[in-house]
Amino acid sequence: MPFLLKPAGKDYLWGGQRLRADFGKESVLNPLAETWECSTHPDGPSLVESGAFAGMPLKEVLKEHPEYLGTHPLCNYTKEQLAAGELPVLIKFIDAKKDLSVQVHPDDEYARTHENGSRGKTEMWYVLDAAKDSSLVYGFSQDMEREQLKKSIEDGTIGEYLQKIPVHKNDTFYIEAGTVHAIGAGCLMAEIQENSNLTYRMYDYDRQDKYGKKRPLHIERALEVVKLDKSTPPGQPQRVLNYHRGCATELLCRCRYFQVERMLFNTEQCRQLLEYHTDSTSFQVLLCIDGCGIMLKDGAGELQFFKGDCIFVPAGMDGIRIHGKGKMLKVVC
C-alpha cells in the first residue's frame, strides 16, 4: 500500500506561519519556514505515518526494501548508497515571509570532491502562492568578474547586479547548480531538489538570528562554483494539459535528476474512480497541493489524504484507484 509521510520542520529566521494555516502542518517550531516532506537526508528525515511501516524513518524502510525505488534509481546507485537507504530527491514546502539569503549550490562534481562525496544541488520551484509584487533572484543581470562579485558582497552592493524576476502563482523555475538565486518575501513554494543540503550563502542582508548572531557566509566556496555570466531571464514554458478520464496532467519540469508533473483530478462527475499505477522503473511521490481524496489499493484497504499530505508510492504498484477532487505534484526519478 502507498503510505503517507510525516515531514521534518525547519525554523529558519525568514519563515512564517502559512505552512500551518494553509497545509495544516503541526510543529512546535516558530517560525515554520520549511517542511521536508519526503527526505532521507540526515538533516531532516521523513517518517512513515501510515500503514505497516508507521513510525519508521523512510530511510529505514528503503534499506529493507530497495526495490521500492525502482530500476532507474537503483542502476545509478552504489552498493553503499543502496545499503544506506538513500533517496535521490528531497521534496519540501517553503514559506518565505521574508527574503531568503542570496546563495548558490555546487554541482555533483564539486560536491563529490570538496564535500565528502556529497551530491550537488539542482532544484526546481513550483509557486503555490505569491504576494503582490513578489520576486525572486535568478542569476546576474550582467556578466561578472570574480573580484567584482567578491567586492560587491563585501560592500553590500551585490543587489545591483542580481536579476530580479516577478513571481506569480503556478510559475515554475528550474535552478541549475551554480546559478545564484534567492526566494523573495511573500512566496509559498514547493521545492524538488537533489538529495543534498549544500548551500553556500553569499549575502544575508547583515541579519541576526534570535541569538543576536549573524548567520555564517560561505563566500570563498560560493565564488568557486557560481556561474558569472549574465543569465537569460527564465521564461514560463508552454504547458499542455493531457486529459484522461477523471484527471488532467501537465509536465512542469524534466531533468536528469527528476521529472515533475501537475495532476488535476476530479472523480465527482465522471462517476468512475481514477486508475493509477507505478511502473518498475521508479517510485513516485505525490504531494497534494489542493483538495483531498481517498486512494484505494485492491486487497490492501484505503488511504485518506488531504491538502498538504505527501504520499510515497513504491515502484511496480498497480491496482490503485483514486477518488476525490484536488491537485497534486507527481515526482518521478
The residue to which cell 513571481 is assigned: 167
**Chain Cα centroid distance, residue 53:** 23
| Of 106, 127, 121, nearest in space to 202 by CA | 106
Cβ distance 162 to 104 under 8 Å?
Answer: no
DSSP state of 229: S
Q: b/e for 126-143, b at 16 or more Cβ within 10 A?
A: bbbbbeeebbbbbbbeee
Active site residue 221: no
β-sheet bridge partners, residue 102: 203
User: Dihedral of CA 239/244/248/253: which sign?
Assistant: negative
Please state the length of the chain: 333
DSSP state of 197: -
Q: Which of 20, 201, 262, 321 is catalytic?
A: 201
Instruction: Tell me whether residue 226 is exposed, middle or buried, using C-beta atoms within 10 angstroms of its C-beta: 0 to 12, 13 to 18, 19 or more.
Output: buried
Q: Which residues are catalytic?
A: 201
